[in-house]
Structure 1
Amino acid sequence: MIEAIRVDEAVRELRPDFAVLAVCAYGLGNGPSDERSRGWLTEAAEAAPPLDHDKIEAWRAAYRAFGAKPQRTRPSVDALIRRMPLPEINLVVDAYNSVSVRHGLPIGGEDLGHYEGAARLVRAAGDEPSDEVLGDPGIGEVVWRDDAGVTCRRWNWRQCVRTRITEETVDALFLLERLEPLSFDELSAAGDELSALLGTITPGARIESRLIR
């Protein structure tokens, strides 16, 4: 799965500085939020970058580049930082949301058990299958998708219902997305932090990662 993830050339032309660190975790034992995950969220909220930070502004600029209005449909990390206290969802989602907020980068979490084929980031043709929650993407919109259709619209704005991580999720894919000025060292550190938290949740989980740039 992880070796087949790709970023379309049209997206690279839009933002040549884009890179994504894909982290796959197999054999997770997810569950409801607890004191550990609440602590992760609290600590992350205290370390969150300000909303006018260059890392957040870079994502707003990326949205404008394909015609989206980031004040109406916000990049995921922008929207998450505005939600204080951070929402409690479940252990795995709390883990990646805490890393997202701490480092100021978008992170998507996908249930591999509901995936069809490999994840790829493309510019939409406008006829991709989508669900009622997402709605239909516009032509040229940046979307994540698999063989069954769109999994996340407007780069990282909103995820489909089908691939959301739930308490029943066993195998998961996490997409840590990078634009300048976020450094590759910080991207790697965020991946290591997420892997450590997943290992805390499930010590026996198998974790692998791949940088796509």
Structure 2
Amino acid sequence: MTKFIIDQSFWELFPQAKIGVVLLKDYQAIGDSPQSLVDLLAESNQMAQQYLTAANFSDNPVIQVYRQAYQKFKTKKGARCSIEALLKRSQGDRAVTSINPLVDIYNAASLRYALPVGAEDLDTFVGDLYLTQTEGGDDFYLIGDGENNPTLPGEICYKDDQGAVCRCLNWRDGHRTMIREQTKNAFVVIELLEPERQDDLLAALNFIGQQASDYLSAKAAITILDKNNSCLDL
């Protein structure tokens, strides 16, 4: 059975981290998001403003925690955690808008709880999935880009036997494992680096599981991993 394994090299950098996972099985693609889900995403854009109280965007605590985390490992120049991009859009005139039902659900969760959320097609993994500090050279093809951009030595990434799945924690997803219209089983992951926000992590995971059940008829299973429980059967 395929496993998700968080390597010791990750825990050495982030010993207090919690990694939340929602496994969505046998979900039903429904085409475009219904208006109620579009409205939920719009509401989430507004809710995100509670985390943006500092005059300078980068001074907000939810931004600083990930910027400081990215200084602990090798990153591609300009890499920023996905939550930063979402919150910046919610604050400006390019609010996060509908893409497809599953993406809308996890973007809504990300905005509501100011946590980075990523999702991959579970059936595309080759061998076990690792969250690890890599030696570099893992093949990676960005969504919409045909050029290989391999990982850097010392980078934190999600990877399987065929290459990188997502780079620099939850920064960029690859084309090979992206969520598609035909996806039936999804791996959704949230990285929490502030242990005092574990209630927010659990709320975000439950939100994703409930919305995926309501809108996509998905079977959702939620797990929170830490350094003492770092492996999950997928």
83-92 vs 29-38, greater mean Cα deviation: 29-38
Any idea what the Cα deviations from partners look like across 1:106-134, whole Å, max 9, x if unmatched? 11101112122232101111122222547
TM-score by length of 2: 0.83
1:107 aligns with 2:117: yes
* 1:32–1:167 CA contact under 8 A, matched in 2: no
Aligned-partner residue type, residue 133 of structure 2 = R
**Whole-Å Cα distance in 1 between the matches of residues 26 and 125 of structure 2?**
16
Which ranges in structure 1 are unaligned for 5 or more consecutive residues? none
Which ranges in structure 2 are unaligned for 5 or more consecutive residues? 227-234
TM-score by length of 1: 0.91
1:126 aligns with 2:174: no
**Whole-Å Cα distance in 2 between the matches of residues 120 and 67 of structure 1?**
17
Any idea what the Cα deviations from partners look like across 1:85-109, whole Å, max 9, x if unmatched? 1032100000001101110111110
1:177 aligns with 2:181: no
How many angstroms does 1:37 deviate by? 2.2
Give the match for residue 22 of structure 1: 21
Identity of matched residues, %: 31
9-18 vs 152-161, greater mean Cα deviation: 9-18
* 2:74–2:152 CA contact under 8 A, matched in 1: no
- Whose radius of gyration is greater, 1 or 2? 2
How many angstroms does 1:182 deviate by? 5.1
Give the match for residue 75 of structure 1: 81
How many angstroms does 1:192 deviate by? 0.6
**Whole-Å Cα distance in 1 between the matches of residues 212 and 118 of structure 2?**
15
Give the match for residue 164 of structure 2: 150
- The match for 2:65 among 53, 58, 61 is 58
**Whole-Å Cα distance in 1 between the matches of residues 37 and 172 of structure 2?**
23
Give the match for residue 41 of structure 1: 41
**Whole-Å Cα distance in 2 between the matches of residues 182 and 98 of structure 1?**
22
Report the secondary structure of 1:11's partner residue: helix
Report the secondary structure of 1:116's partner residue: coil
Give the match for residue 208 of structure 1: 221
**Whole-Å Cα distance in 2 between the matches of residues 185 and 15 of structure 1?**
19
Report the secondary structure of 2:71's partner residue: helix
The structure-2 alpha-carbon separation of the partners of 1:28 and 1:179, relative to structure 1 and needing over 3 Å to count, comes to same
Give the alignment's Cα RMSD to 1 decimal. 1.9
Aligned-partner residue type, residue 15 of structure 2 = P
Aligned-partner residue type, residue 96 of structure 2 = L
* 2:139–2:151 CA contact under 8 A, matched in 1: no
137-146 vs 80-89, greater mean Cα deviation: 80-89
- 1:182-193 to 2 correspondence within 5 Å? 183-193=197-207
* 1:55–1:179 CA contact under 8 A, matched in 2: no
Number of aligned residue pairs: give it. 210
